[in-house]
Amino acid sequence: MTEAVRLDAVSKVYGRGRSAVAALREVSIAIPRGTFTAVMGPSGSGKSTFLHCAAGLDVPSSGSVRLGGTDLAGMDENALTELRRRRVGFVFQAFNLVSALTVTENITLPLMLAGTRVDRGWLREVVHRVGLDGRTGHRPAELSGGQQQRVAIARALVTRPEVVFGDEPTGALDTMTARDVLTLLREVVSGLGQTVVMVTHDPVAASSADTVLFLADGRIVDAMAAPTAERVAGRMTGLGAWN
């Protein structure tokens, strides 16, 4: 099994009748394990819907999603919740940390919710990798935005998920801090073999990925390997993204 996530002819329609919106149209893609993928496209092209369907947060109207070989079709809400807790990690723009909990408590929260034992060695390794040694007793308000996002990344890694999904993970950070967080995500892929799939509107962020998928009008219209910020920006201009 070398695919972390696979979509086959995934379509998603919101609403019905004359107000129906096709957010995804027969999207098929296989994302190999241990790779960093960025998803770009104009506003309304289906990026969030793609991420939500791939992560089991939303159910496609048709087609199939497989996560590490497990078909999500037919899973009920309890099974999907379980899958999201144990096999998927999430990093959001807004960090989504619990303010009353320490760094360590925030990081281990998914394990608590899943009723899984904390592997202390792995926790130490994750804390070290994200650069939070010496900060584990702090609360989110005592940390910078970049440090808070590092906590969120550690929380996403602690369950050893099949995929970490990022929804504009650098969207709330200044340029320098964003670059550090992208470097960290790059290391998580290259050093730990983690699979990362990230939606972004930033060509610089996308250029950290191995591959950039371009969505337009609910379809994957292009894939770019070894992206540079300039080539990504050029492709986005071609899709009318900045109009």
DSSP 141: G
| Amino acid occupying residue 111 | L
From the CB of 236, what's the least distance to ligand ADP, in Å?
Answer: 12
- Letter for the amino acid at 86? R
Length of the chain: 243
DSSP H helices, the chain, are: 47-54, 77-87, 103-114, 120-129, 145-157, 175-192, 203-206, 229-238
Query: How far apart are CB 160 and ligand ADP at their closest, in Å?
Result: 28
Q: Quick one: which H or E segment has residue 198?
A: strand 196-199
Helix boundaries (H) for 161-243: 175-192, 203-206, 229-238
Nearer to ligand ADP (CB atom), residue 15 or residue 191? 15
Task: Catalog residues that contact ligand ADP under the rule CB under 6 A.
Answer: 14-15, 21, 23, 41, 43-49
Write down the least CB distance from residue 120 to ligand ADP, Å.
Answer: 38
- Taking alpha carbons only, the member of 51, 3, 49 closest to residue 25 is 49
Contact 137, 148 (CB under 8 A): no
Phi and psi, residue 222, nearest 5°: -165, 155
- Return the number of the residue (9 or 100) whose C-beta is nearest ligand ADP: 9
Nearer to ligand ADP, 44 or 68 (CB): 44
Query: At closest approach, how far in Å is the CB of 204 from ligand ADP?
Result: 19
The CB-of-40 to ligand ADP minimum distance in angstroms stands at 9
Backbone angles phi, psi at 141, to 5 degrees: -65, -20
Closer by beta carbon to ligand ADP, 21 or else 223? 21
Strands 211-216 and 36-40: parallel
Is 43 or 99 the residue whose CB approaches ligand ADP more closely? 43
Q: Which is nearer to ligand ADP, 43 or 243 (CB)?
A: 43
CB of 58 to ligand ADP, least distance (A): 8
